[in-house]
Amino acid sequence: MKLTPNHPADKQETNVLLEREGWTLYEDKYGKLYYTQTNNESVVMLAKDEDCFILIKQFRRAVQSSVIKLPGGGVNAGESLESAAKREFLEETGYSCGDVIYLGKMWSSSWRSNEMTHVFYTEEVSPPDLQRLENHESIEVLRVEVKDCLNLIKANEISDPELTFALLQVILRGMLTGHGR
């Protein structure tokens, strides 16, 4: 089944509130705010090493809390999505990886922004080295058992949309079996 819109997209009246370094903040006629980015693509990696996922814990100012999530980040000009995912995984965790599988793209908050995340998966993980964090980053690397990760999502203690999307994709594709849910 292919999903198609029933009607053309509603072109609402908008006002530009701010434009800065490739970002534009808009307000629609109902007072709702949203933004667009020129470079709107990012990547994340779900990596499974033995019976654990390699995740990160990072403080996020927008929610004023530390969030358990997938390692990832932006795509540099001229860089392939796969290369960006491998690079970001190495920088944020210190682990490197071999072959990766593309799980798809997602709009994590399409009602608010045009940010698109490309999600990758690997089970080819090399022992860790040092993280290569950017100056503004403070990231704790976590090894979370697969069954514990699934239970934490079920209990809504992990609610990161990219992580839940990635797990749903690997489960639907039969890549994650025998872990008891």
pTM for the model stands at 0.86
For residue 4, give the 3-state DSSP assignment: coil
Residue 7: count other Cβ atoms within 10 Å of its Cβ: 5
Task: State pLDDT tens for residues 121-141.
Answer: 999 999 888 767 677 777 899
Per the CB < 8 A criterion, the answer to whether 167 and 46 are in contact is yes
Task: State pLDDT tens for residues 55-112.
Answer: 999 888 877 888 999 999 999 999 999 999 999 999 999 999 999 999 999 998 888 8
The pLDDT assigned to 6 comes to: 58
Domain boundaries, the chain: 41-172
**Which residues, at least 6 apart from 166, have a Cβ–Cβ distance to it below 8 Å?**
44, 46, 70, 103, 119, 121
Domain 41-172 sits in CATH at 3.90.79.10
Paired sense of beta strands 72-74 and 41-49, if any: antiparallel
Residue 34: count other Cβ atoms within 10 Å of its Cβ: 16
- Tracing tokens 């470079």 back to the chain, one arrives at 39
